[in-house]
Amino acid sequence: MSEGTYTQLLDLACGAFLLAAVVVLWQRKLTAIVRTFALQGVALAALPFLLGLHEARGELIAVAAGIGVLRTGVLPYLMRRALDSLVPAPVTGAGHRYVENVSEAWETQPLVNVAASLLTAALLTLLAYAVARPLVLLGPAPATRALPVGLAVMLIGFFVLSTRRRALAQVVGFLLLDNGITATAFLAASGVPLIVELGVSFDVVLAVLVLQILTTRMRTAFGTTDIDDLRELHD
């Protein structure tokens, strides 16, 4: 693979990665958000794959495969399962066509509306580029120059986490944050050592499992998964 193709493909993957994060902000249907997150996983897995091809390192391609399975398969599956348990399947048959309760499947009223969210995403991307200047200066390479994208996705993840009201949308925010950090690690230093990567992935899967179980309990205890209804504890 020539240097030019490598740079172009890397930039394409980073662009898709950032775009997916913005699309998450745009979506309001939770199934669509989860689907977008899975697509972002493909873009993320492409980063170590391209780096592995470029640096001729087999283990990076193996890591890419692992990341792909985890972020496009396992994590979206866990979230979809949580969603299925929250939203009862529509009852088919005469007289039951309109009883489906869709409120749990939508991000009804985010704290910040969609237009303002997109504007904020643009500002956060600019901020990421400003903050990442010393990082890019340290080792100018095609991968390092794309590094601000990872930080931008991380900031957008934080934004989703703090402004979305559905429990599952918050989980997606947390995972966007994590995707952003993983991408930063790949772009900056071709990923952290394998033992750390494995441990982090394991922790993330467990955290999502825990959050999935807590979402179900929240539904049982509060009758909704709206975070704004968590008002039992305060001073």
Partner 1 sequence: MTPLASQVWLAVPVAVPLAAAGVHTAFRRRALSAWTGLLSPCAVLAAGVVLARAVLSGGHPPTAFRGVLRADALSVWILLVVGAVAALAAAAAPAHLAGERAAGRADAATARRYQVLVHAFLGAMCAAVLAANLGVLWVAIEATTIVTAFLVGHRRTRASVEAAWKYVVICSAGIALAFLGIVLLYYAARAAQIPEAQALDWPVLVAHADRLDPAVTRLATALVVLGFGAKAGLVPLHAWLPDAHSQAPAPVSALMSGVLLSVSFTAVLRCKAVADLVLGPGYTRTLLTATALLTLALAVALLLAQRDYKRMLAYSSMEHMSLIALGAAVGTPLAMSAALLHIAGHGLAKTVAFCASGHVLQLRGTTRIGRVRGLLARAPGLGTAFGLSVLALLALPPSGLFASELALARAAFAARFGWAAAAVLLLVLTAFAALAVRTAAMLLGDVPRVGAGPAASGAGVALQLQPAEQRLGVPPVAAEGTPQGPYRPAGDRPGPARLAPGTPAVPVRLGMAAGLPLVLGLAACAALGVAAGPLTDLLSAAALPGRP
Helical spans, DSSP H, in 88-190: 114-131, 133-138, 142-145, 147-163, 167-189
Instruction: Name the residue nearer to partner 1 (CB basis): 118 or 206.
Output: 206
Instruction: Name the residue nearer to partner 1 (CB basis): 93 or 223.
Output: 223
Q: Rounded to an integer, what distance in angstroms lies between the CA atom of residue 67 and that of residue 45?
A: 6
Instruction: Name the residue nearer to partner 1 (CB basis): 92 or 220.
Output: 220
Element (H, E) at 197: helix 194-222
Instruction: Give the residue carrying structure tokens 């007289």.
Output: 95
Give least dist CB 172 to partner 1, A.
12
Instruction: Name the residue nearer to partner 1 (CB basis): 106 or 174.
Output: 174
Helical spans, DSSP H, in 94-146: 114-131, 133-138, 142-145
Please provide residue 166's backbone torsions phi and psi, each rounded to the nearest 5 degrees: -75, 140
Give least dist CB 223 to partner 1, A.
10
Where on the chain is the footprint of partner 1 (CB under 8 A)? 131, 134-135, 137-139, 154, 158, 161, 167, 170, 174, 177-178, 181, 184-185, 188-189, 192-193, 195-196, 199-200, 202-203, 206-207, 210-211, 214, 217-218, 220-222, 227, 230-235
Give least dist CB 151 to partner 1, A.
8
Q: Rounded to an integer, what distance in angstroms lies between the CA atom of residue 133 and that of residue 148?
A: 8
Q: Rounded to an integer, what distance in angstroms lies between the CA atom of residue 105 and that of residue 169?
A: 10
Give least dist CB 229 to partner 1, A.
9
